[in-house]
Structure 1
């Protein structure tokens, strides 16, 4: 009986340690993602609208890159990390609405609508990055979803492709530790 209790305790401690590590990794990844997504470069240049929706779309674009990279890593831990990061982004949208003073009765509806847009844009960006002609495919996605105006997606497209390539080159251990290397627009050639 004592051995069985020890095994249960040992399992619980291991599970708790993995959960804490995942939570820390999500927090670190989310912080970097938000810093990159809300950097003023694209808003000042007028490539992306400096509105709540424009900023939410930039968060979604960066989240899509991070989640795509995490999902490229084999194992159940990476899938859990990707799901936890996505949940954290959606929680951030909810918190942003609350900070704006949106009434409680309408928050659920607004967050659901934003979450649907988040999932749709994220999937479209992922498919575009996997397309053989990813530059053209990504331009279509950005313009069709209203992230940029028609004819203004080139710089953002180049940035996203370069960032996706740099994330792909980064070691899996750093990605799983919540340390994707985000770069500012000025750091991308």
Structure 2
């Protein structure tokens, strides 16, 4: 069955993040050149220095640290929530260029089932509706003809927000802290 499972992988990050933060912060208050600052910051002192910055609320230096995540098995609803965080960079799989035609995935596009639907014992009902939507999508693709993106960009309008997508996102450390604080709230939709 094409029910997608969430997968999040950290694929890149800033090397030596503590050193980067300490150098950036010290630069603000030092006449020294950057190479000298980098050399003078002992590895043993970097963590304490970063903690001190955080306790003082001096967070702009952590914006020099970045993290890049690859996410699969996520709904389009969820990615619409993600992209509200504008201090980030996103590359999302396009339904304009990537067909959801049933031939591609063995008969049915990948999708996400919300936990409340599973809990209400409506999983099979929901899957049946996804199958119907797949049929309608395939009909549209056939009716519109094999015109590549022109066909897919119009046929995608019938797809549900439950359709699975993939996204790569990059955030700096300060935005990531904000993201975690806002998106782990129990009121935020997953």
Same fold (TM over 0.5): no
> Which is richer in helix?
1
Q: What TM-score, normalized to structure 1? A: 0.28
Structure showing the higher strand proportion among its residues:
2
TM-score, with normalisation over the residues of structure 2?
A: 0.28
Q: Which has the larger radius of gyration?
A: 2
